[in-house]
Amino acid sequence: MPKMKSINLIINRHLLTRLTFLACAALLTATTIHGQNINWPQFRGPESNPVGTNTRLADRWSKTENVEWAQAIPGRGWSSPIVTGDKVYLTTVTTEGKSKPPQTGTEYSNEYVAELQKQGLPMDKVIEKVTERDIELPSEVKLHYFLYCLNLKTGKVEWQREFFTGQPPGGRHRKNSFSSESPVTDGKFVYVYVANLGLWAFDLKGKQVWNTPLEANPIYLDFGTGSSPALIDNSLVIVNDNEKQQFIAAFDKQTGKQVWRTNRDIGPKGRQSGWVTPFVWRHTLRTEIVTVGPEMAVSYDLSGKELWRLSGMSPVPIPMPFVFDGLLYINGGRGAALFAIRPGAKGDISLEKGQTSSEYVAWSQPRAGTYLPSCLAYEGGIYALTETGILTRFDAKTGKQNYKTRIDPTATAFTTSPWAYNGKLFCLSEEGKTFVIAAGEEFKLLHVNDLDDMAQATPALVGERLLLRTEHHLYSIRRKG
């Protein structure tokens, strides 16, 4: 009998170990699958390069085809949705009374200026009329700023919080919104940033945890703001390039208190505003915060000390940097270059006239930068999309141009950054049409999906779902069956 008890004890221990292993494996698998389905924590996703991996992501949709749900969102906001758990978070702003409506394209204000000058109006009158038509000034509006929480599976609004009411800290061009900065989450809290107004932290049930007011700084021509925050360890990092005092700053994500601030002075006086979201670059040598401002890219360590800088950026920087296969890609903006940077740089790494590469610049392509959309890396290629619908593909390692072409005669206005999955590239126009293009070294337009509503926000890719925000709705695009 003692021998039998001993054998049973060994068997039971073995069985318990086996069951524990299986339970842990199941938990790990479930967590992995669950994690794949629920996390899109920031603007342009966890890698700042919006690429989906789920084979069931839909490549065809319309206002009725492959729409899991569509939720009307009051007001206007060009911020991107973010996702954690099974909840979607996004911001919007409603206006008391009339709001100056957006318009597709980027040249209509300039065209209006030319028309007024042709009429012989003096410049002060020209500026007055353009401002009256195209700029919404703080004195003209009373706003309500909201954070929304939606159920990922149904689109139902679970809660909404109005976190600020009153006049905005600055104006906006009517193409912009008063809510263009995307929120960010660490899975426990949602952090909201409105440039020149403040920072807010909410728990996932909508309770405000803290609020840090920020000083109001003027933006070039009252165009409005758009640089989203970034999370790094215990800090929330923002970059504010403006016409008074440019700076980068870190705040304790648990309390909202400022940890450090570094003032900067880049770009020509009178044109020092910027709209680029900072990128956290983690590599084997260190972790750094890469920023792009007017005419200059600057990287900082985690205490705000400058590591390196690179000139050659546009005076009006907007696209966000990101990393792919070990190289940092910096889109210098319209008329500027596209750069591929190696890790470990220090000091001034600007290229001399005629140079296209150096110790830390793996390659560069002059005038390959774009105005509004950020670049995308996918299957060995870097895709650069202009605001007018010209798509260029470069080899990610060498910078060799594979093609440069207009997407389609009807594709003429783009703000949304392209995204990719399942061998296809997706380019969403401001008219709400998504041009679906085969990935690869040869250009091939496959088909067009139309939502028939203005769009400027970059989407979220969450498991089988594509979350697309238009001016009036948030769509969950999901393949049926």
Name the average pLDDT for the chain.
93
Contact by Cβ (8 Å): 394, 400: yes
Q: How many angstroms separate the CA atoms of 350 and 334, rounded?
A: 18
Q: Which two tokens stand for residue 169?
A: 């800290």
> How confident is the model over 398-414, as pLDDT tens digits?
999 999 999 999 999 99
pLDDT of residue 392: 98
The CATH code of domain 36-477 reads: 2.130.10.10
- 16 confidence band (pLDDT: 50, 70, 90): very low
Contact 474, 424 (CB under 8 A): no
Task: Name the amino acid, one letter, at 469.
Answer: R
CA distance 381 to 370: 16
Which residues fall within 8 angstroms of residue 478, CB to CB, at 6 or more apart? 58, 66, 67, 68, 464, 465, 466
pLDDT band at 9 (very low <50, low <70, confident <90, very high): very low
Nearest CA among 89, 90, 94, 91 for reference residue 75: 94
Both tokens of 105, joined, read 């394209």
The answer to whether residue 4 scores a pLDDT higher than 60 is no
**How far apart, in Å, are the Cα atoms of 421 and each of 49, 426, 431, 478?**
11, 8, 22, 14
Per-residue pLDDT tens over the stretch 433-470: 999 999 999 999 999 999 999 999 999 999 999 999 99
Residue 37 has pLDDT above 60, yes or no: no
Distance separating alpha carbons of residues 285 and 345, to the nearest angstrom: 10
Quick one: what percent of the chain has pLDDT higher than 70? 92
Checking if the pLDDT of 53 tops 60, the result is yes
The maximal CA–CA distance of the chain, rounded, in angstroms, is 111
Mean pLDDT of 421-425: 98
Strands (E), 400-442: 401-406, 419-421, 424-428, 433-438
Percent helix, percent strand, percent coil in the chain, to nearest 5: 15, 40, 50
* Predicted pLDDT at 1: 43
Q: Please report, for the chain, the start and end positions of each structural domain, with discontinuous segments joined by +.
A: 36-477
- The type of residue at 43 is F
Q: What is the pTM of this model?
A: 0.92
What one-character DSSP code corresponds to residue 418?
P
Spatial distance between the Cα atoms of 441 and 448, rounded to a whole number of angstroms: 20
Q: Read off the amino acid at residue 306.
A: E
Mean pLDDT across 326-337: 98
Q: Work out the pLDDT band at 481, boundaries 50, 70, 90.
A: confident
Asked whether the beta carbons of 342 and 362 are under 8 A apart, the reply is yes
Average pLDDT estimate for 9-31: 39
Q: What angle do CA 70, 78, 435 make, to 5 degrees?
A: 70
As a whole-number percent, the residues of the chain with pLDDT over 90 amount to 92
Mean pLDDT of 239-244: 98
Residue 8: pLDDT band with limits 50, 70, 90: very low
- What does the DSSP assignment read for 367-409? T---SSSPPEEETTEEEEE-TTSEEEEEETTT--EEEEEES-T
Residue 209's pLDDT is 98
Residue 165: count of CB within 10 angstroms of its CB = 11
How far lies 322's CA from each of 173, 279, 328, 440, 458, in Å?
Answer: 27, 6, 6, 20, 15
- Would the pLDDT of 18 be above 80? no
How many whole angstroms separate alpha carbon 428 and alpha carbon 446? 14
Average pLDDT over residues 312-325: 98
Cβ neighbors of 197 (< 8 A, separation 6 or more) are: 164, 168, 169, 213, 214, 216
Residue range 332-357, pLDDT digits in tens: 999 999 999 999 999 999 999 999 99
pLDDT of residue 398: 98
pLDDT at 288 over 80: yes
C-alpha radius of gyration, the chain, whole number: 24
Mean pLDDT of all residues in 221-231? 98
> In this predicted model, what pLDDT tens digit does every residue of 151-174 receive, in sequence order?
999 999 999 999 999 999 999 999
Question: CA dist 326 to 61, 62, 342, 356, 365, Å?
Answer: 34, 37, 7, 19, 18
Among 17-26, 174-183, 247-256, which is the least confidently predicted range? 17-26
Q: What is the pLDDT of residue 38?
A: 67
Mean pLDDT of 78-98: 97
User: What are the angstrom distances between the C-alpha of 301 and each of 48, 293, 342, 391, 404?
Assistant: 19, 17, 16, 34, 36
Report the pLDDT averaged over residues 371-381: 98
pLDDT of residue 23: 40
The residue with tokens 């319309």 is 62
pLDDT of amino acid 201: 99
**What are the tokens at 367?**
């005038």
